[in-house]
Chains A and B, each alone.
Chain A
Amino acid sequence: MKMDDDAPVIYGLEFQARALTAQTAETDAIRFLVGTQSLKFDNQIHIIDFDDENNMINKSVLLHDAGEIWHISGSPADKAVLTTCYSKTSENRVLTCAAVWRMPPEWESGSHESPDDSSNNPQTLELLCHLDNTAHGSVACVLWEPLGDGKRVISLAENHVLLWDLQESSTKATISSTATLEGKGQLKFTAGKWSPHHNSTQLVTANDTAIRGWDLRSMSQIYCIENAHGQLVRDLDFNPNKQYYLASCGDDCKVKFWDVRHINEPVKCLEEHSHWVWSVRYNHSHDQLLLTGSSDSRVILSNMVSISSEPFGHLVDDDDLSDNEENQQEDKGKEPLQDSIIATYEEHEDSVYAVEWSAADPWLFASLSYDGRLVINRVPRALKYRILL
C-alpha cells in the first residue's frame, strides 16, 4: 500500500454540477454518476470509476441533452438504469421534469480505450420513459424503492407525492397512487427519502422547516416534525440499521438526528458547519459514520457512535482473538465511545451540494461542489481498523 492512500483524489468537470449519486446496483466497481448544470451547452452525465488499487479515476461521459440536471438517482436493481430531474425551458417557462434513462451498453468498453475521445463523441442516454409531471409542477427529486426490483419510484413534485409503477422494462410509467400536501401558502417539497425499513412502506419528506413521514400504503401522513430546523430543511437520510432513526440537515447549519417515535426533540444535534448543510448521508454499513456537505465548502465526516446501532463498539468474538489482543480489546471496549468529528475535508472551493458513499466500498465517499469539482476520499485508516477490529 502506498503512503498517500488516504490522500483525496480530485476530478474536475467542465460544468457546474449539483447532482451526484453512487451507482446503487453496482457492488464491484466504485462508481459515481454526476449530472452537470449548464444552460448553454448540452449537459452530461459523468460516470466516474475509481480504481482503488491504482488510486486513479476513469471517466466516461454520456450526453444528457434534455436539460440541466438537478437530481440524479440510480436504480437499485439494474445498474444501467437511472433517473434524472432536469429543467426544461419552453415558452419562457422553466419546468423541472423527471425521466428514466438507460445507459447505452457500449459506454463501458469505449471509455476504457480512449477516455479523451469520449468528450468529443459522447454517447447519448437512452430515454426509457418520462415521469410526466406537467399536471403537478416541478419535480424536486425521484426516489427508487430501496432494495427493490427497480419497478417502483416516487417523485416529489411541488406539493405532490407521486408513486409510479414502471412497466414494460421501465418504458412505461404509470401513477399508482398520489398524496398531496395541503396547507397555507405555496407548499413545496425540497427533499425526500424512501425508508428502507418497514418493507419500504414509509417515506419521509421535507418542506420548508417541517419533516413529514408518510405511509405509502394509505398515502397518508403518519408524523410531522414541525420546525425540525430553524430554516429550510435541505436533505434527509435514514439510518440503514436503526429503523426509527433519521438524520436531517438544513439552512440553520445544523444536522439533527431524530427518533421518529419521539419527535418533540431531536436525539442529537450537530452544529459544525458554518453555512447551510445541503446533504447528509449515513454510511450504508457502519451507521456511526455520517457524511455532510455544506455551502461553507466543507465536507465533514462524523463518528456518531452514541446513537449508532453499535453504541459500544464492534462486538468481537473472543475466539477470534489471541489472548494479548483480547486484553487490548477489552481495554478498548471499556472506554466510553465518544461522538466526534473524524475529519473536515477542505478540498472544495465552492459550495458542496452533494455527498455520497460508494455503493461498493463502504470506506469511500465522493463529494461534489458547484464548481464541478468531485473529490473522492476515504475514511481514515485508523478509524476503519478501530471499527472493524
Chain B
Amino acid sequence: SFPGITAIQRQRETHIYSGWSLMGRRLACLSATTPPDSDPTGRRQVHSMLKLYYGMNEEGKVESLDPCDINGPHFDPEVYLNKLRKECSLGELMDHESCTVKQIRSLDSDMQTLVYENYNKFISATDTIRKMKNDFKKMEDEMDCLSANMAAITEFSAHISGTLQDQHAQITKLSGVHTLLRKLQFLFELPARLNKCLELQAYAQAVSAHRRARCVLQQYSHMPSFRGIQDDCHVIMEQLAQQLRQKFRDGGSSAKDLSECVELLLQLDEPAEELCDKFLSHAQSRLEADLQGLEAELIDSLVTDTDILEFIDRGCNEFVSNLCLVIASYQELFINHPQEGELASKKIPEMANGKLHVFVDTLAARYFSLVERRIQEEKGVGDNSLLVRALDRFHRRLQAISKLLPGSAVPSQGTEIVVRAARERIKQYLSALQTFYHDSLTDVRQALAAPRGATSKDATPSLPELLTSLSNFILNQLKSVLASVHLFTAKDITFSNKPYFKGEFCSQGVREGLVVSFIKFICQSSRQYCESAGDRGGSTPPALLLLLSRLCLDYETSTISYILTLTDEQFLVQHHTPVTPVTALCAEAREAAQKLLNHYVKVQGLIISQMLRKSVETRDWVNTIEPRNVRAVMKRVVEDTTSIDVQVGLLYEEGVRKAHSSDSSKRTFSVYSSSRQQIRYAPSYTPSAPMDTSLLSNIHKLFSERIDIFSPVEFNKVSVLTGIIKISLKTFLECVRLRTFGRYGLQQIQVDCHYLQMYLWRFVSDENLVHFLLDEIVGSAAHRCLDPSPMEQSVIEVICERG
C-alpha cells in the first residue's frame, strides 16, 4: 500500500467530518428557543431539547404531562384557559393576560432575531459546501493517478521474484550442506579438540563437547570412519575420566573444584555410589584431621588450661562448619542436583542421602565423645556462664546440621549431651555446696575453738554472729549456685526451650536434685554429729551442736520455705512430677534440730556429770573432815551451768517456767526429818512396804510424774537447762548411792546440795524437780551414812552464804 495516499485520504475525511460537526453545531443553535446565555434552567431546557432531537432522551426523566404547563409538550390552551378562568380573579386574569402578552411579545422579538441570525449562517454554510465540492474534484484526479502507478509497481515486483526463484532454492541447499559439513568437521576434529582440552585441563569443555557428539557417534557407529572417531574419543574420554578421578582422589583441591569434578564424572556415567563413597571418604579424611586437632587440644587443655568455650569454638568453627560444608556440597552434588535423563532413574538422591546420614552420624558420634570428654573435664564450679555459653554455642551450631539434614539424629544427640552436662553440673553444684557447707562448719569450729582472749569479746565473734554469718554464707552460696544454674534456662540460650530444661531440669534437677538434696544433706550431716561424735562429747564442741540445732530450727521455721519459694519463682516449674513438699523438709529439719539439741543437752550434761562423778568417786567419804566450805567442784558446776545458760540464751528464747516460791534459794530440806524417820525403824509397818527409804520422797514419787532423765527437750533455754541439770543431778544421786559416808561425808553432801539448791533453781522450768533430786541425793547419802547426824540447817546456810 501507499502510505502517502492513505494520509491524504485520511486528511480529507477529517475535513469532511469537521465540516459536518460544524454544521451540526449550527443546527443545534437554531433549534434552541432561548438565547444560549440565559439562566441555567433555560440552558438545561435547551440541552434537553437538543437531546430530544438527537434521540438521546434520558431515561427515567419524567416528562411533564400537565396540560397546563405552557412550556410542556402536552399543552392544551383550552384547559389552560379554563383553569385560569376558574382559579383566578379578574385582576389576576388581567395581570396574567398582560404578562402573557408581554411574554408573547418578547418571544416574537426573539424569534425574529434568531431567524435573522440563522439566515446568515445558512448563507455561509452554503459557501463552504460549494468550496468543498471543488476540492473533492481535484482530489479524485490525483487518486486515479496513484492507482495507475501502483499497478505498475506490482507488475515489476512479480517479475523480479519470478527471476530470483531458482537461485534461492540453491542457496538453501548449500547452507544445509554447510551446516552438515561443519558438524562433520566438529566430529573429525573432536579427538584433537578433546586432546587439547585434556592438555589444557579444560575438562568441562571436553565433557560438554563429548556429550554433544556422543549421540551422533553412537548412531553412526556402524560406519567405519565414525567408529574410528568414536573409539578415539572413547580413549581420550577414558583418559580424561582417569585424570578426573585422580584429581578427585588427590583431594587438596578446593571444594568448588571437587564438586565440578564430581559433576563431570557423573556426566561421564561414573557410578554415583562410588562417587559418593569417594567424596565422603575424602571429606572424612579432612574432618578426621579436624577431630584429631580437637583431640590434641583436649589433651593439651588438661595442661594448658584453655577454657571450654575456646575448645567448643574450635570444634564449631573447624569440625562443625566443615561438616556443614561437606553436607551442603554433597547435597548440592548428589541430592539436590537436578538430574536429567538416565541419571534421574537411578534414584541417586535416596542412595546418597542414606550414605550421608551414616557418614554424619559416625563423625558426629566421635565429635560428641570428644565434647563429652571435654565437658567432663569441666569440674570447677566457679563460673558457670562459660560452660553454658559453650554448651549454647555447641547446641546452636548443631542446629545448622538439623537445617541441612532434616531427619538427622545428630541435633537431638547434641541436646542429650547438653542435658547430661546440665545434670552433671547440678551434681557438681550439689557436691560443691556440700563441701562449702563443711568448710563453713570447719571455720565455725575454728572460731569456736579460738581462745577467747581476756575481755576481747569483739575479737571472737559471738554465737549469734556466727550463726547469722553461717546462715548467710550458706544462703548466699545457695543463691549464687541457683543463679549459676539459672543460666541454663536463660531465654537467649537455644536449648532452654527444650522440654527437659523447661520441666525436668527445673523440678527434678534444680529443685529436687540441688535444693532439696542440699537441705536434706544439712539435716543428715547434722544428725551425724549426734551419732559419730562419740558419747563422751568428744570431737564436736557443744557450742557447734547448739548452733547447728538453731540453724536447723531456723530452717524449719523460715529458711526452707524461703529457699523453695525462691527456687520455684526462679525456675517456673511446669513439670508435674511429685516434688518433696515443704512440710516434709521442715519436719526433717525440725527432727534434726531436736536431735542436735537433745545431743547438746546430753553432752553438756555428761560433762557436768563427769565432774560430779569424779568428785564423788575419788573421795574417801568415811574419813572426811567436817565441812567448812562448799566443795570447789560444786562451784564449778554452778559456773558451768551459768555459762551454758548464757550460751543457750544467745540462741534460744527463755521459755516458760513454773512460778517459783518467793524464796526458792532459802528452802530447807525437809528430807532430814525423813532421813531421821528412817532411823526410827518401825516394825509395825507392813513388811511389803518399802520402809527403809524416805517416806516423803516415796510419796513424792507416787504423786509426781516419772522423771525421764535423757528425754527430749523443747526449743527454749529453760528446757535445755532443765535437761542438763536433770542429767547432772541424777548422776550425782547414783554415784552417792554407790558410796558409804561418814558423818562429815553426809554433812559435806548436805552443804553441797544446799549450795546447788541456791543456784540451780533459777535455771529450770520447775524448781520442784531440783528440790526433789537434791532431796533424793541427801536422802540417799543419809541412808548410806554410818553415822547419820545431819548438820544444822543454819550452819549449812552460813557455809553456803560464805561462798
On A, residues with C-beta under 8 Å from B are 10-16, 38-41, 87, 89, 92-94, 116, 119, 227, 229-231, 252-253, 274-276, 295-297, 346, 349-351, 370-373
Contacts and interface: CB of A to CB of B under 8 A. Distances in A.
Given A38-B692, A350-B693, A372-B692, 11 more contacts: A11-B688, A14-B691, A14-B692, A40-B679, A40-B681, A93-B623, A230-B606, A252-B535, A274-B710, A296-B706, A370-B737
B693 A275 contact: no
B686 to A, nearest CB: 8
Given A14-B691, A15-B692, A274-B709, A89 B622 contact: yes
B711 A231 contact: no
Rank and list the top 8 A-B pairs by shortest CB-CB distance, nearest first. A230-B535, A12-B688, A274-B708, A275-B709, A371-B690, A349-B701, A252-B535, A15-B692
Interface residues of B, number: 33
Contacts of B689: 12
A41 B692 CA distance: 10
A247 to B, nearest CB: 18
B781 to A, nearest CB: 12
B693 A371 contact: yes
A17 to B, nearest CB: 9
B121 to A, nearest CB: 138
A134 B745 CA distance: 25
A297 B734 contact: no
A189 to B, nearest CB: 14
Contacts of A297: 706
Nearest to A70: B738
Nearest to A11: B688
B346 interface: no
Contacts, number: 85
A87 B741 CA distance: 13
Nearest to A57: B688
Nearest to A16: B692
Interface in B777-795: 783-786
Given A39-B785, A274-B708, A229 B688 contact: no
A349 B702 contact: yes
A351 B706 CA distance: 12
A276 B740 contact: no
Contacts of B691: 14-15
Contacts of A229: 535
A4 to B, nearest CB: 18
B535 A119 contact: no
A266 to B, nearest CB: 12
A16 B623 CA distance: 24
B682 to A, nearest CB: 10
Interface in B406-440: none
B785 A94 contact: no
A116 B692 CA distance: 18
Contact of A89 (B708, B710, B730, B740): B740
B786 A39 contact: yes
A87 B623 CA distance: 16
Contacts of B535: 229-231, 252
B623 A92 contact: yes
A231 B693 contact: no
A87 B740 contact: yes
B191 interface: no
Contacts of A227: 534
A339 to B, nearest CB: 19
Nearest to B776: A350
Interface in B704-730: 706, 708-711, 730
A372 B622 contact: no
Nearest to B689: A12
A297 B698 CA distance: 13
Given A14-B691, A252-B535, A296 B708 contact: yes
A296 B709 contact: yes
A372 B690 contact: yes
Contacts of A252: 535
Nearest to B727: A275
Contacts of B711: 274
Nearest to A94: B740
Contacts of B536: 230-231
B464 to A, nearest CB: 30
Contact of B740 (A39, A41, A351): A39
Nearest to A372: B690
A14 B702 contact: no
A74 B272 CA distance: 105
